[in-house]
Amino acid sequence: MKLYNEETIKKKIKSLAHKLYKKHKKDLNNLVFIGIKRRGITLAQRIKKELEKLAKLEIPIGALDITFYRDDLQLVAPAPVVRGSEINFSLQDKIVILVDDVIYTGRTVRAALSEILDYGRPKKIELLVLVDRNFRELPIQPDYVGFKLKVKKTDLIDVFLKEEDKKEGIYLEKR
Residues that bind another protein (CB under 8 A): 65, 68-70, 73-79, 82, 84-86, 114-115, 117-120
* Comparison of 111 and 159: residue with beta carbon closer to another protein: 111
* Comparison of 89 and 135: residue with beta carbon closer to another protein: 89
* Comparison of 6 and 86: residue with beta carbon closer to another protein: 86
Query: Strand locations in the chain, DSSP E?
Result: 2-4, 31-36, 61-64, 95-103, 124-133, 144-149, 156-160, 169-173
Q: CB of 69: closest distance to another protein in angstroms?
A: 6
Burial (0-12, 13-18, 19+ Cβ within 10 Å), 51: buried
Beta bridge partners of 95: 31, 124
* Comparison of 1 and 79: residue with beta carbon closer to another protein: 79
Assign 147 to helix, strand or coil: strand
Q: b/e for 141-155, b at 16 or more Cβ within 10 A?
A: ebebbbbebebeeeb
Q: CB of 114: closest distance to another protein in angstroms?
A: 7
* Comparison of 85 and 144: residue with beta carbon closer to another protein: 85
Angle at the Cα of 67 from the Cα atoms of 72 and 98, rounded to 5 degrees: 110
Burial (0-12, 13-18, 19+ Cβ within 10 Å), 21: middle
